[in-house]
Structure 1
């Protein structure tokens, strides 16, 4: 059975025959339909009209099946190419890369969550925009992490829409986007790992790398209120005992470079308690940022 949503085709695959389970480490994996950890999720009360989705067709596969993006040979090939080019969040040393965000230096951690929005943007084929959360580790030259969020990548998806995405990278540099190869296990029959979103035209998001340095966030430096620039809110982590804590309960560091083009500001929880631990980011970008 195939479903079409936003001009994208999904196959409804038996949940136990999906491609993610072909990974050698998942041969004996038992699918959990619900998390074994109880987590209370904060309610986000701040919304803006520019970031709301509209007229989105609902995907719903039959019971016992899950939506898997119909992969073309070109998409699978491009996914493999971008595994090498994908941002290493634990090592910001790629040419042309600029970052604005926060990174916890405590741990170990069992999970992370945050509220953040995406904005539509026209980007070139040599440009990529990510807005994501991640959890991972680094030992010597080995980087191992998993991330999820929003992405604009015309070379990978063939258009300039904002897509949800998942990505993992592990031993020997191997990794994968979404369900283009084995690794991720799709559980929901309604919400696929990867899908485009209908957003009104806007500006870019959290971090970006390219030859020409484009704007970040919504193109505005974080000098105003929390709604005036890009924002990540209610950032929380699961500690080693699977207890949910605000991110600033542990030591963290700010990641920001090129003050001429991009900025980062940790938000005031006393002034905006409903946003939890949050930060604002963004900027115009430009040639002054260098490469």
Structure 2
């Protein structure tokens, strides 16, 4: 993948019909939570564009087509009914029915919420060309079968990203069901000149690679920002935001927050591994981990959600994947997948 350094005021997202008169917000008005839980956060592949420009991932033809397909058929994290849904595609990469599975936790009481933050472990997995594996957090609203949501995290998706490495990513769905990955189509406003929304996450020994991200609505402007949380006294990196104009249900917070993992199976029906490929055990470090689950109400600081027992648990296939409250971590998740994971 190649990044182009583009004039911040000429980035492709400003061509979106809903953003014709948009004025770029250079930084948010809120603060970002800190944590000492993960001392080896690995999101340091800095691009380094000149001042006044921002890194935009160059879209080649196949990449754009595959990304459009995945955006149209993307699993919906807001509804349990979407779990196990099958889709059909005539793309060369994916020709048969595919299985979508999600494992995680969800909070949908006492909203609206204006932010979520989490520290999620990152892992290398053996994913085939027509499979995908994700670990992410999301915010969203669902009203009368319409939904808006934003999701950030990491994924291994060779057909979209071109290789089998874990990449950071963002995805949104807004007005009229429109949605997109990263900056492939207009929508996300990139502000950081160094830290793109989507980038490969460098290798680190098992257990020492994590991402720390937050999605927050700036209540002064209504825009939804994604921020890379830095360690200690290092300044946080505000990567950019999805403007409020893109959404018709999230102008005043979100009613649903969630964190977890998801997979898309291959055309043969084989489900890929999730997390680090291992089911949760009594030892937290044996599987993928979410360190903390923080949320924010309007004009308040982030709160740490401790009541795991009161969260909605979404476990789509207990044959192949698992979810467990951790001892030192908030919860652990993942599993090996396989060819008998059900539908």
TM-score by length of 1: 0.84
Corresponding position of 1:5: none
Alignment pair present for 1:157 and 2:174: no
> Paired residue for 2:36, among 8, 21, 43?
43
Inter-CA distance 140–124: structure 2 relative to 1 (3 Å threshold) = same
The answer for the alignment partner of 1:177 in structure 2 is: 181
1:201 is displaced (CA, Å) by 9.3
Cα drift, residue 215 of structure 1: 2.3
Q: CA–CA distance in 1 between the matches of 2:21 and 2:307?
A: 36
Matched, 1:102 2:105: yes
Contact 1:110 1:237 in 2 (8 A): yes
Match of 1:89 in 2: 77
**Take 1:158 and 1:286, find their aligned partners in 2: how far apart are those partners?**
23
Q: Who is 1:280 aligned against?
A: 332
Moved more, 182-191 or 71-80: 71-80
Q: Distance in 1 between matches of 2:286 and 2:201?
A: 22
Contact 1:120 1:201 (8 Å CA) reproduced? no
Structure 1 residues 137-183: Cα deviation after superposition (integer angstroms, max 9, x where no partner): 11122121111111111111222121111111123321111111111
Quote the residue 1:257 is aligned against: 316
How far off its partner does 1:243 sit? 3.1
**What's 2:91 paired with?**
none
Check conservation: 1:119, 1:201, Cα contact below 8 A. Answer: no
The DSSP-based 3-state class of the residue aligned with 2:284 is: coil
Aligned residues: 271
| Per-residue deviation, 1:102 | 0.6
CA separation in 2, counterparts of 1:161 and 1:45? 21
Choose the corresponding residue for 2:263, options 208, 211, 214: 208
Structure 2 distance, partners of 1:77, 1:16, is 26
User: Runs of 5+ in structure 1 lacking a partner?
Assistant: 1-7
CA distance in 2: counterparts of 1:281 and 1:176, whole angstroms: 26
- Tell me: CA distance 1:140–1:285, structure 2 relative to 1, closer, same or farther (3 Å): same
Q: Which residue of 2 aligns with 1:138?
A: 142
